Structure 1
């Protein structure tokens, strides 16, 4: 089931990126080859990008690939790192909750007003629903990471330590060069 969810998430993110690329490419061709273009293309690309960012951010939290600087946190003991990480996740959860509430209120007002997007024939709230949905997804993913930290499965929000990986690659390269000599 876990692999299926990963596959669906990755597929949806790939679809959004592909759709953005195709719409943008078609507009470049239309503009420079045929001296025309679609009025709605820029707005569609903007909304696709918003969806890509929100789904992508949640997926990156899930995979532990957000950029962070753990050098300071690494100076502390394992137990202290755990508390620092859980505190940081707590602040992130609070941030997501605030933005979820703001997004929810915004969508409710858009739905009440009932206006359509500027260049697309669709109600604006249906396109912008990604705001509360995206922050809810990020919130859920942060809870998953917090649980893993609490259980001791991981020490920080990252499942991969880039510095350690780089040092290991350098050591492997040096060892390989030594065997060639």
Structure 2
């Protein structure tokens, strides 16, 4: 399942890149349509980019939902483990598994409630204000992101039970760049 190994990064990178392009185009359009160039100004004023803000808001909501799943997978999601890390190993391990399974249960419940909400919403004709997208499409980020996060909690729990290792985020590590490549460039 190599496809799922970096799903969040691909989705977040795509959404972030697309949002950047959309906002760049909207800003260029706004400034260029204020330039008194006959013909060009008239043509630009006729173009409507009011949808750009709404679209990027939705894109950032989706990024946040998938970013939380990424955080669980990589070990950077918020967690309070000060007391747990002071426990003896057998108790510590039990509490870690309990916490991971609780996270999976919670996100599974949120995903299920979100899916129920999206299903109910799909039977109504509500649309977004500017883009006129069906709102069920916008709110689909809730069940999709929550179920992915639930899957990541279960994945981390399974790996912890098998190996005793939790994902640790190393801010100095760049994937694809080996340590010996950096040996000469350290300051």
Relative to the length of structure 1, the TM-score reads 0.76
Q: Is residue 14 of structure 1 aligned with residue 13 of structure 2? A: yes
How far is 1:8 from its partner? 4.7
Give the Cα–Cα distance (whole angstroms) in 1 for the partners of residues 7 and 94 of structure 2. 33
Instruction: State how 1:158-169 maps to structure 2 within 5 Å.
Output: 158-160=166-168
Q: CA deviation at 1:152?
A: 3.4
2:128 to 117, 131, 140: 117
Moved more, 14-23 or 58-67: 58-67
TM superposition shift of 1:69 = 4.0
Q: Could you tell me how far 1:32 is from its partner in structure 2? A: 3.4
Deviation at 1:161, TM superposition (A): 6.8
Q: Distance in 2 between matches of 1:99 and 1:68?
A: 18
Alignment: residue pair count: 161
Aligned-pair CA distance for 1:20? 1.2
Partner of 2:89: 78
Tell me, yes or no, if structure 1 residue 139 matches structure 2 residue 138: no
Is the 2:73–2:167 contact (alpha carbons within 8 Å) kept by the matching residues of 1? no
Partner of 1:34: 33
* Structure 1: tracts of 5 or more residues without a match: 166-175
Whether the 8 Å contact between 2:65 and 2:146 is mirrored in structure 1 is: yes
Aligned in 2, Cα 1:92/1:7: closer, same or farther, shift over 3 Å?
closer
Deviations 1:11-55 (A, max 9, x none): 222110111111122222223342466121111011111111112
2:163 aligned partner:
152
Aligned residue in 2 for 1:66 = 77
Decide which structure has greater helix share: 1
Structure 2 CA distance for partners of 1:98 and 1:29, relative to 1, 3 Å: same
Within the candidate set 94, 107, 116, 1:96 is matched to 107
Shift of 1:72: 2.3
Structure 1 residue 50 corresponds to structure 2 residue 61:
yes
Question: Which whole-Å CA distance do the structure 1 matches of 2:168 and 2:155 have between them?
Answer: 16
| Deviating more after overlay: 48-57 vs 61-70 | 61-70
> What is the CA RMSD across the aligned residues, in angstroms?
2.5
After TM superposition, the structure 1 stretch with the greater mean CA deviation from structure 2, 64-73 or 106-115, is 64-73
List runs of 5+ in structure 2 lacking aligned partners: 35-44, 174-185
- Note closer, same or farther for the CA distance 1:11–1:76 as it changes in structure 2 (3 Å cut): same
